[in-house]
Chains A and B, each alone.
Chain A
Amino acid sequence: MSGERRLGTDDPAAAVELAFREERPAVLATLIRHVGDFQLAEDAVQDAFAAAVATWPRDGVPDNPGAWLTTAARRRAIDRLRRTRSLADRADRLAELARLDAQEHRPDALDEASAVDDDRLRLIFTCCHPALALPARVALTLRMLGGLTTGEIARAFLVAEPTMGQRLSRAKRKIADAHIPYRVPTDDVLPDRLRGVLMVVYLIFNEGYEASGGDRLVRGELCSEAIRLGRLLARLMPDDGEVWGLLALMLLHDARRAARVDPAGRYVALDQQDRSLWDQGRIREGLRALEQALRLRRPGPYQLQAAISALHVEAPSPEEVEWQQIADLYGALARLEPSPVVEVNRAVAVAFARGPAEGLSLLTPLLGDAALANYQPLHAAHAELLRRSGDREGAARAYTRATELTSNAVERAELERRRAAL
């Protein structure tokens, strides 16, 4: 981050904007620890940025914008506490803030960087606390750790802005009133809580990736935010294989984003995609992250999914995909996290590796499961395998069923096209 910060510092307006994007989460994370209140910290950081807009053009951009903003925000917080809070509540806080403010000695840069990292980790775990409802965790994480405004988050999740505002303020109130702690969880619950954090990040990514509606630009922004969070987690918790696995998975999926939809907005299947549209930078970073994960030798669901994705992008052409390996990885995934999604994908991989008959024999038990009667991907896969085994009539019936179950217009058009091509 400190490398990027230097960009545009000659132009004060651009410097404020850059600091807002790059420094806000870190400044906010530190201030929450100092003042012990999300809303107060957010308001004070907002004040500090307003002060930067007013003074940087006059006095020049400070050497360390993050430190400047933290100090300014802390002083604004003191002002706000003096004005608005009851005496009993604010006495301890004010004393602590005054102590911090008087402590003007500069710790060495390394200490400072590690304190900022600790604060960011605290902020991640608090925003993703399981005592908050999942939609609130997602929104809070984007608002506090990402650069998105409440309006942008509302548009990305297709809810009205006031609704999203209420969701956020309710979450902040619960953190304050129920005393949800601002700390990294203790070792006994850490693995469990980290899984929860990764789930929130992956949910943000998928919300952006599965373009089911809404503003496409904002949705792309969600993918970028999720990847940014994934990188941050990998830097802060580099000893966890799943952290690297999730980062790899998101990068390898995101690399193909531009190739997934054609200029007319139609869905393009993986084997039909124009590979020159794949983002090679994302792929390289994704493969590096996967290597990092595998080196830790503790496989998990995100790593397995990333490995599957890697086999797809590493194949020189769709004909040279290592389907047997992919089928084995799906098998391992099914043992760790059994789900119909995984089973359907495994059947498809097995069909590519060893022929449609073997794939169909894996799908057949799923077709008898009443719980999956309305599961569209199952019927789409069934149609595809029947077509490849030469059963046109069966394939047509399965395509019709899959089409009935699809709400996404792009997907429906693709299924209809395939049925017509039988």
Chain B
Amino acid sequence: MPQYMLLIYTPGDGPPAGTNPEESAKWFEYTQSLIDAGVHVAGDALQGLDTATTVRVRDGDTQLVDGPFAETKEFLAGYYVLDCPDLDTALGYASRMPNIHYGSTEVRPVMDMSAVFAEAGQGQAQAQQ
């Protein structure tokens, strides 16, 4: 079954995760509905942007930047990974996200690495012949 990652974006001025009990209750309820539906694989909320550190290594030099990869109006606040038969199902769950009316959710299919490995293995086998 394909897996999808739902990347949860929230505006910078939105309520910080976990500070609003009413908000938290909605997220718990939503997560529970995913577990009950049998689609929940993983999911987490992330600490705020002011805790982010961005790392790059350029010419052997490790560069650290205090802050996110890119300054945007909306920032990545958390994610879910879901087992869904197709994109429509994943989009359906995304559209019920508690913050969907003021934030946005990017839905990305997770790459099926077993197929990639199988193809790579086949390529190697052909190369050896």
Closest to A193 in B: B88
Of A88, A89, A131, A177, the most chain B CB neighbours within 10 A belong to: A88
Residues of A within 8 A of B2 (CB): 179
A182 to chain B: closest CB distance in Å? 9
Q: Give complex CA distance A178, B108 in Å.
A: 7
Residues of A within 8 A of B119 (CB): 86, 89
Residues of A within 8 A of B87 (CB): 131, 178-181
Interface extent on A, as a size class? Answer: 10 to 19
Residues of A within 8 A of B115 (CB): 86, 88-89
Kindly state whether residue A87 has any CB partner on chain B within 8 Å.
Answer: yes
Which residues of B from 76 to 102 have beta carbons under 8 Å from A? 85-88, 91
CB of B114 within 8 A of CB of A88, answer yes
Q: Give complex CA distance A89, B88 in Å.
A: 22
Residues of B within 8 A of A87 (CB): 118, 122
Kindly state whether residue A377 has any CB partner on chain B within 8 Å.
Answer: no
Of B85, B107, B118, the most chain A CB neighbours within 10 A belong to: B118
Residues of A within 8 A of B68 (CB): none
Residues of A within 8 A of B85 (CB): 179, 181
Residues of B within 8 A of A179 (CB): 2, 85-87, 109
Closest to B122 in A: A86
CB of B118 within 8 A of CB of A178, answer no
Q: Give complex CA distance A189, B91 in Å.
A: 12
Q: Give complex CA distance A411, B56 in Å.
A: 57
A89's partner among B86, B91, B107, B118 (CB-CB below 8 A) is B118
Closest to B91 in A: A131
Closest to A176 in B: B109
Closest to B114 in A: A88
Which residues of A from 141 to 195 have beta carbons under 8 Å from B? 177-181, 185, 189
Q: Give complex CA distance A179, B87 in Å.
A: 6
Q: Give complex CA distance A177, B116 in Å.
A: 12
B19 to chain A: closest CB distance in Å? 34
CB of A86 within 8 A of CB of B118, answer yes
Q: Could you tell me the dominant secondary structure of chain B's interface residues?
A: helix
Residues of B within 8 A of A180 (CB): 86-88
CB of B86 within 8 A of CB of A88, answer no
Closest to B123 in A: A86
Closest to A131 in B: B87
Closest to A181 in B: B86
CB of A185 within 8 A of CB of B118, answer no
A181/B88 contact (C-beta < 8 A), A88-B114, A88-B115 known: yes
Q: Give complex CA distance A194, B85 in Å.
A: 22
B88's partner among A88, A177, A185 (CB-CB below 8 A) is A185
B33 to chain A: closest CB distance in Å? 16
Closest to A85 in B: B119
Residues of B within 8 A of A88 (CB): 114-115, 118
Residues of A within 8 A of B91 (CB): 131
Residues of A within 8 A of B109 (CB): 177-179
Of B2, B114, B115, the most chain A CB neighbours within 10 A belong to: B115
Q: Give complex CA distance A318, B52 in Å.
A: 70
Q: Give complex CA distance A181, B118 in Å.
A: 24
Q: Give complex CA distance A356, B37 in Å.
A: 63
Which residues of B from 1 to 59 have beta carbons under 8 Å from A? 2
Of A87, A131, A178, A189, the most chain B CB neighbours within 10 A belong to: A178
Q: Give complex CA distance A375, B76 in Å.
A: 39
Of B85, B87, B91, B118, the most chain A CB neighbours within 10 A belong to: B87
Residues of A within 8 A of B114 (CB): 88
Q: Give complex CA distance A87, B117 in Å.
A: 11
Which residues of A from 176 to 233 have beta carbons under 8 Å from B? 177-181, 185, 189
Closest to B86 in A: A181
0/1 interface trace, chain B 104-129, chain A, CB 8 Å (1 if under): 00010100001100110010000000
B125 to chain A: closest CB distance in Å? 10
A99 to chain B: closest CB distance in Å? 21
A238 to chain B: closest CB distance in Å? 25
Q: Give complex CA distance A179, B86 in Å.
A: 5
Residues of B within 8 A of A131 (CB): 87, 91
Residues of B within 8 A of A189 (CB): 88
Q: Which residues of A are interface residues toward B (Cβ below 8 A)? A: 86-89, 131, 177-181, 185, 189
User: Can you report 14 A-B residue pairs in the complex whose CB atoms are below 8 A from each other?
Assistant: A87-B122, A89-B119, A131-B87, A177-B109, A178-B107, A178-B109, A179-B2, A179-B85, A179-B86, A179-B109, A180-B87, A181-B85, A181-B86, A181-B88
Given pairs A89-B118, A180-B88, 14 additional interface contacts (CB within 8 A): A86-B118, A87-B118, A131-B87, A177-B109, A178-B87, A178-B107, A179-B2, A179-B85, A179-B87, A179-B109, A180-B86, A181-B85, A181-B88, A185-B88
Q: Which residues of B are interface residues toward A (Cβ below 8 A)? A: 2, 85-88, 91, 107, 109, 114-115, 118-119, 122
The 5 nearest A-B residue pairs measured at CB: A181-B86, A86-B118, A86-B119, A88-B118, A179-B86
